[in-house]
């Protein structure tokens, strides 16, 4: 079973539709019992880190996700959901994340436009099943003001926006996309296709 976690922050239906377009059938749920049965957990998200992690914790879903990760389930974070995978965030304070990937979430440096919103190209950093259908130079759609800062071992692909920003990350069965695959046209569909083949 594959579950999209409903914790009140995310475009759940559009993600579900995009996944179904690649043959990935999902349920949308905030029931801990349902999520505990999942082999793949999707964490979408838009908005602020504090609101997201607080909402997850209010229903005990932060511990459910950690438990499932320890048990070997895939955890896939998208946009804000990817940021939740890291140790902590400095967005409007200091907030602890899920701790599935070492690192922290910090604000983008001053650029002509913050948030980083729109299409930007990817640079593939290493071979991975996730990049099976991707090529350096492919464009995807971003909306964010904060990014992951870490040792970088988890980076599969990155983009440049004043600095090197992790765009696709993977640490074992923990996967993150800083951009929105469901809004990234053919490239996003190709990425979800590769993901589907990996988690099937």
Active site residues: 79, 180, 182
| Closest alpha carbon to 180 in 38, 76, 54, 49 | 76
Secondary structure of residue 192 in the 3-state scheme = helix
- Reported as type and span, the H/E element at residue 182 is none
Burial of 178 (C-beta count, 10 Å sphere; 0-12/13-18/19+): buried
> Would you report the helix, strand and coil content of the chain in percent, each value rounded to 5?
30, 30, 40
Q: 166: Cβ–Cβ under 8 A, 6 or more apart, which residues? A: 147, 148, 150, 152, 154, 155, 158, 176, 178
């Amino acid at each position: 079973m594959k579950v999209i976690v409903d914790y009140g922050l995310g475009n759940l239906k559009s993600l579900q539709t995009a996944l179904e377009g690649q043959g990935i059938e999902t349920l949308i749920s905030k029931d801990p019992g349902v999520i505990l049965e999942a082999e793949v957990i999707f964490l979408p998200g838009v908005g602020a880190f504090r609101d997201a992690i607080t909402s997850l914790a209010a229903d005990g879903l932060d511990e459910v996700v950690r438990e499932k990760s320890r048990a070997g389930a895939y955890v896939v974070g998208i946009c804000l959901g990817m940021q939740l995978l890291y140790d902590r965030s400095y967005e409007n304070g200091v907030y602890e994340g899920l701790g599935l990937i070492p690192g922290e979430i910090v604000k983008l440096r001053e650029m002509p436009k913050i948030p980083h919103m729109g299409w930007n190209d990817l640079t593939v950093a290493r071979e991975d099943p996730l990049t099976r259908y991707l090529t350096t130079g492919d464009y995807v759609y971003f909306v964010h003001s904060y990014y992951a800062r870490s040792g970088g071992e988890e980076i599969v692909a990155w983009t440049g926006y004043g600095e090197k920003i992790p765009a696709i990350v993977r640490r074992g069965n923990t996967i993150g996309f800083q951009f929105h695959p469901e809004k990234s046209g053919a490239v996003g569909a190709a990425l979800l296709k590769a993901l589907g083949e990996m988690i099937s």
